[in-house]
Chain A
Protein backbone atom coordinates (compact mmCIF):
# COMPACT_ATOMS: atom_id res chain seq x y z
CA UNK A 1 0.00 0.00 0.00
CA UNK A 2 1.61 3.25 -1.12
CA UNK A 3 0.20 5.32 1.75
CA UNK A 4 2.00 3.24 4.38
CA UNK A 5 5.29 3.67 2.50
CA UNK A 6 5.28 7.45 2.58
CA UNK A 7 6.55 7.95 6.19
CA UNK A 8 9.36 5.48 5.56
CA UNK A 9 10.29 7.17 2.27
CA UNK A 10 10.38 10.52 4.04
CA UNK A 11 13.00 9.10 6.40
CA UNK A 12 15.33 7.94 3.65
CA UNK A 13 18.39 10.23 3.51
CA UNK A 14 18.08 10.61 -0.25
CA UNK A 15 14.59 12.04 0.05
CA UNK A 16 14.93 13.78 3.39
CA UNK A 17 13.46 17.30 3.35
CA UNK A 18 11.17 16.78 0.37
CA UNK A 19 7.71 18.32 0.67
CA UNK A 20 4.81 16.00 1.61
CA UNK A 21 3.25 16.77 -1.77
CA UNK A 22 6.37 15.66 -3.60
CA UNK A 23 6.66 12.56 -1.41
CA UNK A 24 3.02 11.70 -2.06
CA UNK A 25 3.73 11.82 -5.79
CA UNK A 26 6.82 9.62 -5.43
CA UNK A 27 5.10 7.16 -3.17
CA UNK A 28 2.84 6.25 -6.04
CA UNK A 29 5.89 4.93 -7.93
CA UNK A 30 7.50 3.08 -5.00
CA UNK A 31 7.40 -0.33 -3.48
CA UNK A 32 9.52 -2.26 -1.00
CA UNK A 33 11.87 -4.83 -2.41
CA UNK A 34 14.10 -7.40 -0.72
CA UNK A 35 17.10 -8.83 -2.51
CA UNK A 36 18.92 -11.91 -1.34
CA UNK A 37 22.72 -11.77 -1.37
CA UNK A 38 23.86 -12.37 -4.93
CA UNK A 39 20.61 -11.29 -6.53
CA UNK A 40 20.77 -8.76 -9.39
CA UNK A 41 19.05 -5.38 -9.09
CA UNK A 42 19.99 -4.33 -12.59
CA UNK A 43 21.80 -5.77 -15.58
CA UNK A 44 24.19 -3.85 -17.81
CA UNK A 45 22.68 -2.81 -21.16
CA UNK A 46 19.07 -3.53 -20.28
CA UNK A 47 16.26 -1.01 -20.13
CA UNK A 48 16.70 1.21 -17.05
CA UNK A 49 13.18 1.15 -15.76
CA UNK A 50 13.90 1.20 -12.02
CA UNK A 51 16.00 2.84 -9.36
CA UNK A 52 16.65 1.84 -5.78
CA UNK A 53 17.03 3.64 -2.51
CA UNK A 54 18.95 1.32 -0.25
CA UNK A 55 17.60 0.92 3.29
CA UNK A 56 19.67 -2.00 4.54
CA UNK A 57 22.45 -4.13 3.11
CA UNK A 58 24.87 -3.37 0.33
CA UNK A 59 24.79 -3.30 -3.43
CA UNK A 60 27.85 -3.50 -5.66
CA UNK A 61 28.16 -2.15 -9.17
CA UNK A 62 30.12 -4.46 -11.39
CA UNK A 63 31.87 -3.94 -14.65
CA UNK A 64 32.30 -7.34 -16.17
CA UNK A 65 34.82 -8.32 -18.79
CA UNK A 66 35.28 -11.75 -20.29
CA UNK A 67 37.95 -12.68 -17.75
CA UNK A 68 36.67 -11.24 -14.51
CA UNK A 69 34.25 -8.87 -12.93
CA UNK A 70 35.47 -5.84 -11.04
CA UNK A 71 33.51 -3.88 -8.45
CA UNK A 72 33.57 -0.24 -9.49
CA UNK A 73 31.52 1.08 -6.59
CA UNK A 74 29.24 0.05 -3.79
CA UNK A 75 26.18 1.65 -2.22
CA UNK A 76 24.94 1.16 1.29
CA UNK A 77 22.02 2.30 3.44
CA UNK A 78 20.83 5.80 2.55
CA UNK A 79 22.28 5.73 -0.94
CA UNK A 80 20.84 5.67 -4.43
CA UNK A 81 21.46 2.93 -6.93
CA UNK A 82 20.48 3.66 -10.53
CA UNK A 83 20.12 6.99 -12.25
CA UNK A 84 19.98 5.76 -15.85
CA UNK A 85 16.17 5.98 -15.78
CA UNK A 86 16.38 9.78 -15.84
CA UNK A 87 18.98 10.15 -18.59
CA UNK A 88 18.51 8.97 -22.17
CA UNK A 89 18.80 6.34 -23.53
CA UNK A 90 17.54 4.91 -20.22
CA UNK A 91 19.85 1.93 -20.23
CA UNK A 92 21.80 0.54 -17.24
CA UNK A 93 25.54 1.11 -17.44
CA UNK A 94 26.62 -1.52 -14.89
CA UNK A 95 25.46 -4.68 -13.27
CA UNK A 96 24.09 -4.06 -9.80
CA UNK A 97 24.03 -6.98 -7.42
CA UNK A 98 23.32 -7.32 -3.73
CA UNK A 99 26.46 -8.41 -1.87
CA UNK A 100 24.42 -9.11 1.22
CA UNK A 101 20.70 -9.38 1.97
CA UNK A 102 19.38 -5.99 0.98
CA UNK A 103 16.21 -4.03 1.57
CA UNK A 104 15.46 -1.17 -0.82
CA UNK A 105 12.73 1.10 -2.07
CA UNK A 106 12.16 0.10 -5.65
CA UNK A 107 11.00 3.06 -7.73
CA UNK A 108 9.47 2.64 -11.15
CA UNK A 109 11.52 4.72 -13.58
CA UNK A 110 8.80 5.26 -16.17
CA UNK A 111 6.41 6.33 -13.45
CA UNK A 112 9.02 8.71 -11.97
CA UNK A 113 9.75 10.24 -15.37
CA UNK A 114 6.08 10.83 -15.97
CA UNK A 115 5.63 12.49 -12.57
CA UNK A 116 8.71 14.63 -13.11
CA UNK A 117 7.54 15.66 -16.58
CA UNK A 118 4.12 16.58 -15.24
CA UNK A 119 5.52 18.41 -12.25
CA UNK A 120 8.73 20.29 -13.16
CA UNK A 121 9.29 21.43 -9.55
CA UNK A 122 9.41 17.81 -8.44
CA UNK A 123 11.54 16.96 -11.46
CA UNK A 124 14.04 19.71 -10.63
CA UNK A 125 14.21 18.70 -6.98
CA UNK A 126 14.75 15.08 -7.91
CA UNK A 127 17.39 15.93 -10.49
CA UNK A 128 19.26 18.09 -7.98
CA UNK A 129 19.46 15.15 -5.61
CA UNK A 130 20.55 12.77 -8.33
CA UNK A 131 23.19 15.31 -9.40
CA UNK A 132 24.67 15.39 -5.90
CA UNK A 133 24.98 11.64 -6.05
CA UNK A 134 26.52 11.81 -9.52
CA UNK A 135 29.01 14.46 -8.37
CA UNK A 136 29.97 12.37 -5.37
CA UNK A 137 30.41 9.32 -7.57
CA UNK A 138 32.59 11.32 -9.98
CA UNK A 139 34.75 12.68 -7.12
CA UNK A 140 35.17 9.18 -5.86
CA UNK A 141 36.25 7.80 -9.21
CA UNK A 142 38.59 10.73 -9.91
CA UNK A 143 40.21 10.36 -6.53
CA UNK A 144 40.73 6.66 -7.07
CA UNK A 145 42.19 7.45 -10.49
CA UNK A 146 45.04 9.21 -8.62
CA UNK A 147 45.90 5.86 -7.07
CA UNK A 148 46.74 7.74 -3.89
CA UNK A 149 47.88 4.69 -1.98
CA UNK A 150 50.48 4.20 -4.63
CA UNK A 151 52.18 1.26 -6.19
CA UNK A 152 55.24 0.55 -4.04
CA UNK A 153 57.23 -0.82 -6.95
CA UNK A 154 56.15 1.95 -9.26
CA UNK A 155 57.35 4.77 -7.04
Chain B
Protein backbone atom coordinates (compact mmCIF):
# COMPACT_ATOMS: atom_id res chain seq x y z
CA UNK B 1 0.00 0.00 0.00
CA UNK B 2 1.53 3.33 -0.90
CA UNK B 3 1.66 5.81 1.90
CA UNK B 4 -1.01 8.35 1.05
CA UNK B 5 -0.63 10.56 4.02
CA UNK B 6 -4.09 10.02 5.40
CA UNK B 7 -4.49 6.42 6.24
CA UNK B 8 -1.19 5.08 7.47
CA UNK B 9 -1.30 2.05 9.68
CA UNK B 10 -1.20 2.65 13.40
CA UNK B 11 2.21 2.47 15.01
CA UNK B 12 2.83 -1.13 15.49
CA UNK B 13 3.91 -2.18 19.01
CA UNK B 14 6.32 -0.21 21.11
CA UNK B 15 8.98 1.88 19.43
CA UNK B 16 12.27 0.20 18.73
CA UNK B 17 15.81 1.32 19.28
CA UNK B 18 18.22 1.30 16.39
CA UNK B 19 21.77 2.15 17.32
CA UNK B 20 23.51 4.77 15.21
CA UNK B 21 25.97 2.08 14.21
CA UNK B 22 23.14 0.20 12.54
CA UNK B 23 21.68 3.18 10.71
CA UNK B 24 23.75 2.27 7.65
CA UNK B 25 22.18 -1.18 7.74
CA UNK B 26 18.74 0.42 7.70
CA UNK B 27 19.71 2.43 4.61
CA UNK B 28 21.00 -0.75 3.00
CA UNK B 29 17.80 -2.62 3.85
CA UNK B 30 15.76 0.10 2.19
CA UNK B 31 18.04 0.02 -0.81
CA UNK B 32 17.63 -3.77 -0.98
CA UNK B 33 13.91 -3.17 -1.46
CA UNK B 34 14.76 -1.50 -4.75
CA UNK B 35 14.76 2.11 -3.65
CA UNK B 36 17.27 4.78 -4.59
CA UNK B 37 18.22 6.73 -1.48
CA UNK B 38 17.91 10.49 -1.43
CA UNK B 39 18.66 12.48 1.67
CA UNK B 40 20.51 15.36 3.26
CA UNK B 41 24.10 16.06 2.38
CA UNK B 42 26.44 19.02 2.66
CA UNK B 43 27.14 20.91 -0.54
CA UNK B 44 28.27 24.48 -1.24
CA UNK B 45 27.81 25.55 2.34
CA UNK B 46 24.28 24.26 2.71
CA UNK B 47 22.48 21.06 3.53
CA UNK B 48 20.69 19.96 0.41
CA UNK B 49 18.85 16.83 -0.68
CA UNK B 50 20.47 14.55 -3.19
CA UNK B 51 21.23 10.94 -3.90
CA UNK B 52 23.18 9.36 -1.04
CA UNK B 53 25.05 6.10 -0.78
CA UNK B 54 25.55 5.62 2.91
CA UNK B 55 25.57 7.22 6.32
CA UNK B 56 28.86 8.88 5.39
CA UNK B 57 27.00 11.16 2.95
CA UNK B 58 24.79 12.54 5.72
CA UNK B 59 25.65 15.95 7.25
CA UNK B 60 27.24 14.27 10.27
CA UNK B 61 28.13 16.80 12.95
CA UNK B 62 26.70 19.79 11.09
CA UNK B 63 23.91 22.11 11.99
CA UNK B 64 22.37 25.16 10.38
CA UNK B 65 22.16 28.62 11.87
CA UNK B 66 19.12 30.45 10.54
CA UNK B 67 17.52 33.86 10.89
CA UNK B 68 15.63 36.15 8.57
CA UNK B 69 17.90 36.53 5.56
CA UNK B 70 20.60 34.41 7.17
CA UNK B 71 21.80 30.80 6.80
CA UNK B 72 25.16 29.35 7.87
CA UNK B 73 26.41 25.84 8.47
CA UNK B 74 28.10 25.34 11.80
CA UNK B 75 29.94 22.47 13.40
CA UNK B 76 28.11 20.73 16.20
CA UNK B 77 29.94 19.39 19.20
CA UNK B 78 28.60 15.92 18.48
CA UNK B 79 28.16 13.59 15.55
CA UNK B 80 24.43 13.84 15.01
CA UNK B 81 23.25 12.65 11.58
CA UNK B 82 20.17 14.88 11.49
CA UNK B 83 21.38 17.71 13.72
CA UNK B 84 20.15 20.50 11.43
CA UNK B 85 16.66 21.83 10.79
CA UNK B 86 15.86 22.41 7.10
CA UNK B 87 17.91 23.63 4.17
CA UNK B 88 16.95 25.52 1.02
CA UNK B 89 15.62 22.44 -0.77
CA UNK B 90 12.58 20.36 -0.15
CA UNK B 91 11.35 17.03 -1.48
CA UNK B 92 9.52 18.73 -4.31
CA UNK B 93 12.91 18.57 -5.96
CA UNK B 94 12.07 14.92 -6.66
CA UNK B 95 8.27 14.96 -6.86
CA UNK B 96 7.81 18.17 -8.80
CA UNK B 97 11.21 18.70 -10.46
CA UNK B 98 12.22 22.23 -11.37
CA UNK B 99 12.33 21.21 -15.03
CA UNK B 100 10.81 18.14 -16.59
CA UNK B 101 10.02 17.08 -20.13
CA UNK B 102 6.29 16.52 -20.56
CA UNK B 103 6.33 15.03 -24.05
CA UNK B 104 8.15 15.10 -27.33
CA UNK B 105 6.78 15.33 -30.81
CA UNK B 106 8.11 14.26 -34.19
CA UNK B 107 6.94 15.45 -37.58
CA UNK B 108 5.61 12.81 -39.93
CA UNK B 109 6.12 12.58 -43.67
CA UNK B 110 2.53 13.66 -44.32
CA UNK B 111 3.03 16.94 -42.48
CA UNK B 112 1.35 15.75 -39.30
CA UNK B 113 3.13 14.92 -36.09
CA UNK B 114 3.05 12.33 -33.34
CA UNK B 115 3.20 13.14 -29.66
CA UNK B 116 4.94 10.81 -27.26
CA UNK B 117 4.26 11.30 -23.56
CA UNK B 118 7.32 11.16 -21.34
CA UNK B 119 7.65 7.78 -19.61
CA UNK B 120 6.86 7.66 -15.91
CA UNK B 121 9.80 7.59 -13.51
CA UNK B 122 11.27 4.13 -13.18
CA UNK B 123 13.28 4.75 -10.04
CA UNK B 124 11.51 4.46 -6.76
CA UNK B 125 12.98 6.88 -4.28
CA UNK B 126 13.41 6.60 -0.54
CA UNK B 127 13.32 9.99 1.16
CA UNK B 128 15.66 9.87 4.14
CA UNK B 129 15.14 12.53 6.80
CA UNK B 130 11.75 14.06 6.05
CA UNK B 131 10.70 16.64 8.66
CA UNK B 132 7.16 17.00 9.97
CA UNK B 133 6.65 20.28 8.09
CA UNK B 134 7.94 18.63 4.94
CA UNK B 135 5.58 15.70 5.28
CA UNK B 136 2.77 18.24 5.60
CA UNK B 137 4.11 20.04 2.51
CA UNK B 138 4.07 16.81 0.50
CA UNK B 139 0.47 16.20 1.54
CA UNK B 140 -0.35 19.77 0.56
CA UNK B 141 1.07 19.22 -2.91
CA UNK B 142 -0.73 15.86 -3.14
CA UNK B 143 -4.01 17.77 -3.00
CA UNK B 144 -2.91 20.03 -5.84
CA UNK B 145 -1.34 17.49 -8.16
CA UNK B 146 -3.01 14.15 -7.58
CA UNK B 147 -6.21 14.58 -5.63
CA UNK B 148 -8.13 16.99 -7.84
CA UNK B 149 -10.11 16.19 -10.97
CA UNK B 150 -6.87 16.30 -12.95
CA UNK B 151 -3.81 14.34 -11.93
CA UNK B 152 -0.17 14.75 -12.77
CA UNK B 153 0.83 11.16 -13.57
CA UNK B 154 4.53 11.80 -12.98
CA UNK B 155 3.91 13.28 -9.56
CA UNK B 156 1.53 10.47 -8.69
CA UNK B 157 4.01 7.79 -9.72
CA UNK B 158 6.93 9.43 -7.93
CA UNK B 159 4.87 10.06 -4.85
CA UNK B 160 3.25 6.65 -4.60
CA UNK B 161 6.55 4.97 -5.25
CA UNK B 162 8.42 6.84 -2.55
CA UNK B 163 9.45 5.29 0.76
CA UNK B 164 9.49 7.92 3.47
CA UNK B 165 11.78 7.93 6.48
CA UNK B 166 10.56 10.79 8.62
CA UNK B 167 12.83 12.23 11.28
CA UNK B 168 11.55 14.27 14.20
CA UNK B 169 13.12 17.64 14.84
CA UNK B 170 14.92 17.78 18.17
CA UNK B 171 15.73 21.45 17.79
CA UNK B 172 14.01 24.37 16.08
CA UNK B 173 15.53 27.18 14.08
CA UNK B 174 14.55 30.74 15.02
CA UNK B 175 12.69 30.85 11.70
CA UNK B 176 10.50 27.81 12.46
CA UNK B 177 6.79 28.17 13.20
CA UNK B 178 5.36 24.74 12.36
CA UNK B 179 3.57 24.60 15.74
CA UNK B 180 1.47 27.60 14.67
CA UNK B 181 0.56 25.84 11.44
CA UNK B 182 -0.23 22.62 13.26
CA UNK B 183 2.16 20.64 11.06
CA UNK B 184 4.89 19.76 13.57
CA UNK B 185 7.37 19.44 15.03
CA UNK B 186 6.27 15.86 15.76
CA UNK B 187 5.95 13.80 12.60
CA UNK B 188 2.93 11.71 11.86
CA UNK B 189 3.08 9.57 8.77
CA UNK B 190 5.79 8.36 6.48
CA UNK B 191 6.81 4.70 6.52
CA UNK B 192 9.19 4.99 9.43
CA UNK B 193 9.27 7.78 12.02
CA UNK B 194 12.61 8.31 13.78
CA UNK B 195 13.84 10.37 16.67
CA UNK B 196 17.58 10.80 16.89
CA UNK B 197 19.04 10.81 20.42
CA UNK B 198 22.60 12.01 20.79
CA UNK B 199 24.26 12.42 24.14
CA UNK B 200 27.84 12.05 25.32
CA UNK B 201 26.95 8.51 26.40
CA UNK B 202 25.00 7.22 23.48
CA UNK B 203 23.69 7.76 19.96
CA UNK B 204 20.58 5.91 18.83
CA UNK B 205 17.33 6.25 16.93
CA UNK B 206 13.93 5.60 18.38
CA UNK B 207 12.03 4.06 15.47
CA UNK B 208 8.26 3.80 15.05
CA UNK B 209 7.08 2.00 11.94
CA UNK B 210 4.10 3.81 10.43
CA UNK B 211 3.21 1.35 7.68
CA UNK B 212 3.49 -2.35 7.04
CA UNK B 213 6.30 -1.81 4.56
CA UNK B 214 8.10 0.36 7.11
CA UNK B 215 7.71 -2.44 9.61
CA UNK B 216 9.01 -4.98 7.07
CA UNK B 217 12.15 -2.98 6.40
CA UNK B 218 12.84 -2.54 10.10
CA UNK B 219 12.58 -6.30 10.57
CA UNK B 220 15.64 -6.76 8.36
CA UNK B 221 17.83 -4.62 10.62
CA UNK B 222 19.17 -5.33 14.07
CA UNK B 223 17.02 -3.49 16.61
CA UNK B 224 15.36 -4.01 19.93
CA UNK B 225 12.39 -2.77 21.89
CA UNK B 226 12.98 0.61 23.47
CA UNK B 227 13.14 0.85 27.24
CA UNK B 228 10.93 3.34 29.08
CA UNK B 229 14.00 5.42 29.75
CA UNK B 230 14.99 5.48 26.08
CA UNK B 231 11.47 6.51 25.13
CA UNK B 232 11.50 9.27 27.75
CA UNK B 233 14.84 10.53 26.51
CA UNK B 234 13.53 10.71 22.96
CA UNK B 235 10.48 12.59 24.17
CA UNK B 236 12.74 15.03 25.99
CA UNK B 237 14.65 15.60 22.77
CA UNK B 238 11.42 16.19 20.85
CA UNK B 239 10.17 18.58 23.51
CA UNK B 240 13.26 20.70 22.96
CA UNK B 241 12.07 21.55 19.45
CA UNK B 242 8.75 22.71 20.85
CA UNK B 243 10.29 24.83 23.58
CA UNK B 244 12.82 26.41 21.23
CA UNK B 245 10.23 27.56 18.76
CA UNK B 246 9.97 31.36 18.98
CA UNK B 247 8.13 32.46 15.89
CA UNK B 248 4.35 32.35 15.79
CA UNK B 249 1.74 32.95 13.16
CA UNK B 250 -1.71 33.68 14.52
CA UNK B 251 -3.99 31.65 12.24
CA UNK B 252 -7.23 32.63 13.98
CA UNK B 253 -9.59 33.78 11.21
CA UNK B 254 -6.55 34.33 9.01
CA UNK B 255 -8.07 33.49 5.58
CA UNK B 256 -10.90 35.97 6.11
CA UNK B 257 -8.52 38.54 7.54
CA UNK B 258 -6.19 38.41 4.54
CA UNK B 259 -9.22 38.63 2.24
CA UNK B 260 -10.32 41.75 4.10
CA UNK B 261 -6.84 43.24 3.79
CA UNK B 262 -6.69 43.15 -0.01
CA UNK B 263 -7.02 46.91 -0.28
CA UNK B 264 -4.52 47.62 2.51
CA UNK B 265 -1.68 50.07 2.05
CA UNK B 266 0.58 47.56 3.79
CA UNK B 267 1.29 45.62 0.58
CA UNK B 268 3.03 48.67 -0.77
CA UNK B 269 5.20 48.89 2.33
CA UNK B 270 6.34 45.28 1.85
CA UNK B 271 6.89 45.91 -1.85
CA UNK B 272 9.33 48.67 -0.98
CA UNK B 273 11.60 46.01 0.52
CA UNK B 274 10.75 43.05 -1.72
CA UNK B 275 13.20 42.50 -4.59
CA UNK B 276 10.82 40.12 -6.42
CA UNK B 277 13.81 37.75 -6.54
CA UNK B 278 11.51 34.67 -6.34
CA UNK B 279 13.63 33.04 -3.62
CA UNK B 280 10.64 32.53 -1.33
CA UNK B 281 8.72 30.65 -4.00
CA UNK B 282 11.72 28.52 -4.97
CA UNK B 283 12.45 27.40 -1.42
CA UNK B 284 8.79 27.00 -0.46
CA UNK B 285 7.94 23.30 -0.26
CA UNK B 286 4.32 23.86 -1.32
CA UNK B 287 4.73 26.42 -4.14
CA UNK B 288 3.81 24.58 -7.34
CA UNK B 289 3.36 27.25 -10.00
CA UNK B 290 4.94 26.55 -13.33
CA UNK B 291 5.35 27.56 -16.92
CA UNK B 292 5.92 25.55 -20.05
CA UNK B 293 8.68 25.82 -22.59
CA UNK B 294 8.26 24.68 -26.17
CA UNK B 295 11.34 23.94 -28.17
CA UNK B 296 12.06 22.63 -31.61
CA UNK B 297 15.36 21.20 -32.85
CA UNK B 298 17.41 22.73 -35.65
CA UNK B 299 15.94 20.42 -38.27
CA UNK B 300 12.46 21.56 -37.29
CA UNK B 301 11.38 17.93 -37.12
CA UNK B 302 11.41 17.29 -33.40
CA UNK B 303 9.64 19.41 -30.80
CA UNK B 304 9.49 19.10 -27.03
CA UNK B 305 7.56 20.61 -24.21
CA UNK B 306 9.03 21.07 -20.77
CA UNK B 307 7.42 22.19 -17.58
CA UNK B 308 9.52 24.54 -15.46
CA UNK B 309 8.70 25.76 -12.01
CA UNK B 310 7.89 29.44 -12.13
CA UNK B 311 7.11 32.14 -9.61
CA UNK B 312 4.19 34.51 -9.14
CA UNK B 313 6.85 37.15 -8.46
CA UNK B 314 7.87 37.12 -12.11
CA UNK B 315 6.22 39.85 -14.13
CA UNK B 316 5.63 37.50 -17.09
CA UNK B 317 3.64 35.19 -14.84
CA UNK B 318 0.39 37.04 -15.53
CA UNK B 319 1.16 38.32 -18.99
CA UNK B 320 -1.83 38.83 -21.25
CA UNK B 321 -1.72 40.45 -24.67
CA UNK B 322 -2.28 43.83 -23.06
CA UNK B 323 0.53 43.49 -20.49
CA UNK B 324 1.00 41.88 -17.10
CA UNK B 325 -2.00 41.76 -14.81
CA UNK B 326 0.20 42.10 -11.72
CA UNK B 327 2.57 44.79 -12.79
CA UNK B 328 3.48 46.14 -9.35
CA UNK B 329 5.58 44.38 -6.75
CA UNK B 330 2.86 45.07 -4.21
CA UNK B 331 0.33 43.12 -6.27
CA UNK B 332 2.73 40.23 -6.69
CA UNK B 333 3.55 40.00 -2.99
CA UNK B 334 -0.16 40.29 -2.21
CA UNK B 335 -0.88 37.38 -4.52
CA UNK B 336 1.79 35.20 -2.96
CA UNK B 337 0.84 35.81 0.64
CA UNK B 338 -2.90 35.77 -0.10
CA UNK B 339 -2.59 32.45 -1.86
CA UNK B 340 -0.51 30.91 0.91
CA UNK B 341 -2.60 32.03 3.84
CA UNK B 342 -6.07 32.72 2.47
CA UNK B 343 -7.23 31.43 -0.91
CA UNK B 344 -5.40 28.10 -0.52
CA UNK B 345 -8.01 27.17 2.09
CA UNK B 346 -10.85 27.65 -0.40
CA UNK B 347 -8.94 25.78 -3.09
CA UNK B 348 -7.46 22.85 -1.22
CA UNK B 349 -9.00 22.90 2.22
CA UNK B 350 -5.78 23.69 4.06
CA UNK B 351 -3.28 26.45 4.49
CA UNK B 352 -0.62 26.71 1.81
CA UNK B 353 1.96 27.39 4.52
CA UNK B 354 3.47 24.64 6.65
CA UNK B 355 5.60 26.89 8.85
CA UNK B 356 9.03 25.64 7.71
CA UNK B 357 10.41 29.18 7.72
CA UNK B 358 12.42 28.77 4.50
CA UNK B 359 10.92 31.90 2.90
CA UNK B 360 12.12 33.89 5.92
CA UNK B 361 15.62 32.46 5.94
CA UNK B 362 16.20 32.73 2.22
CA UNK B 363 14.70 36.16 1.66
CA UNK B 364 17.70 38.37 0.89
CA UNK B 365 16.09 41.28 2.72
CA UNK B 366 14.59 39.21 5.51
CA UNK B 367 10.89 39.69 4.82
CA UNK B 368 9.08 37.55 7.35
CA UNK B 369 5.68 36.05 6.50
CA UNK B 370 4.75 35.88 10.20
CA UNK B 371 5.52 39.56 10.69
CA UNK B 372 3.66 40.56 7.55
CA UNK B 373 0.60 38.53 8.51
CA UNK B 374 0.66 40.19 11.94
CA UNK B 375 1.02 43.64 10.37
CA UNK B 376 -1.94 42.95 8.10
CA UNK B 377 -3.96 41.80 11.10
CA UNK B 378 -3.15 45.04 12.83
CA UNK B 379 -4.01 47.07 9.72
CA UNK B 380 -7.39 45.35 9.41
CA UNK B 381 -8.12 45.64 13.13
CA UNK B 382 -7.44 49.36 13.01
CA UNK B 383 -9.55 50.05 9.95
A and B touch in the complex (CB under 8 A): yes
The B321-341 residues at the A interface (CB cut-off 8 A) are: 321-323
Instruction: Tell me the complex Cα distance, A13–B169, Å.
Output: 74
A155 within 8 A of B: yes
| 6 A-B residue pairings within 8 Å (CB atoms) | A150-B321, A150-B322, A152-B321, A155-B321, A155-B322, A155-B323
Residues of B within 8 A of A155 (CB): 321-323
Instruction: Tell me the complex Cα distance, A93–B321, Å.
Output: 37
> Least Cβ distance of A60 to chain B in Å?
29
Instruction: Tell me the complex Cα distance, A152–B322, Å.
Output: 9
Residues of A within 8 A of B323 (CB): 155
Residue of A nearest to B320 (CB): A155
Chain B contact-residue range equals: under 10
> Least Cβ distance of A18 to chain B in Å?
41
Instruction: Tell me the complex Cα distance, A3–B127, Å.
Output: 93
Majority-rule SS of B interface residues: loop
Instruction: Tell me the complex Cα distance, A150–B322, Å.
Output: 8
What sequence of 0s and 1s flags, for each residue 141-171 of chain B, a beta carbon within 8 Å of any chain A beta carbon? Answer: 0000000000000000000000000000000
The A132-155 residues at the B interface (CB cut-off 8 A) are: 150, 152, 155
Binding site for B on A (CB under 8 A): 150, 152, 155
What sequence of 0s and 1s flags, for each residue 295-339 of chain B, a beta carbon within 8 Å of any chain A beta carbon? Answer: 000000000000000000000000001110000000000000000
Residue of A nearest to B322 (CB): A155
Instruction: Tell me the complex Cα distance, A155–B323, Å.
Output: 8
Instruction: Tell me the complex Cα distance, A150–B321, Å.
Output: 9
Residues of B within 8 A of A150 (CB): 321-322
Instruction: Tell me the complex Cα distance, A155–B319, Å.
Output: 11
Residues of A within 8 A of B321 (CB): 150, 152, 155
> Least Cβ distance of B325 to chain A in Å?
13
Residue of B nearest to A147 (CB): B322
> Least Cβ distance of A151 to chain B in Å?
10
Residues of A within 8 A of B322 (CB): 150, 155
> Least Cβ distance of A71 to chain B in Å?
26
The B241-286 residues at the A interface (CB cut-off 8 A) are: none
Q: Shortest 6 CB-CB distances between A and B: which pairs?
A: A155-B321, A155-B322, A150-B322, A150-B321, A155-B323, A152-B321
Instruction: Tell me the complex Cα distance, A152–B323, Å.
Output: 12
Residue of B nearest to A155 (CB): B321
Instruction: Tell me the complex Cα distance, A150–B320, Å.
Output: 12
The B320-379 residues at the A interface (CB cut-off 8 A) are: 321-323
> Least Cβ distance of B320 to chain A in Å?
9
Instruction: Tell me the complex Cα distance, A31–B198, Å.
Output: 102
Instruction: Tell me the complex Cα distance, A142–B202, Å.
Output: 78
Instruction: Tell me the complex Cα distance, A155–B320, Å.
Output: 9
> Least Cβ distance of A73 to chain B in Å?
25
Residue of B nearest to A150 (CB): B322
Residue of A nearest to B323 (CB): A155
Instruction: Tell me the complex Cα distance, A142–B323, Å.
Output: 20
Residues of B within 8 A of A152 (CB): 321
Instruction: Tell me the complex Cα distance, A87–B321, Å.
Output: 42
What sequence of 0s and 1s flags, for each residue 188-222 of chain B, a beta carbon within 8 Å of any chain A beta carbon? Answer: 00000000000000000000000000000000000
> Least Cβ distance of B322 to chain A in Å?
5
Instruction: Tell me the complex Cα distance, A131–B321, Å.
Output: 36
Residue of B nearest to A152 (CB): B321
> Least Cβ distance of A150 to chain B in Å?
6
> Least Cβ distance of B127 to chain A in Å?
46
> Least Cβ distance of B321 to chain A in Å?
4
> Least Cβ distance of B148 to chain A in Å?
33
> Least Cβ distance of A58 to chain B in Å?
32
> Least Cβ distance of B74 to chain A in Å?
53
> Least Cβ distance of A12 to chain B in Å?
40
> Least Cβ distance of A135 to chain B in Å?
25
Residue of B nearest to A148 (CB): B322
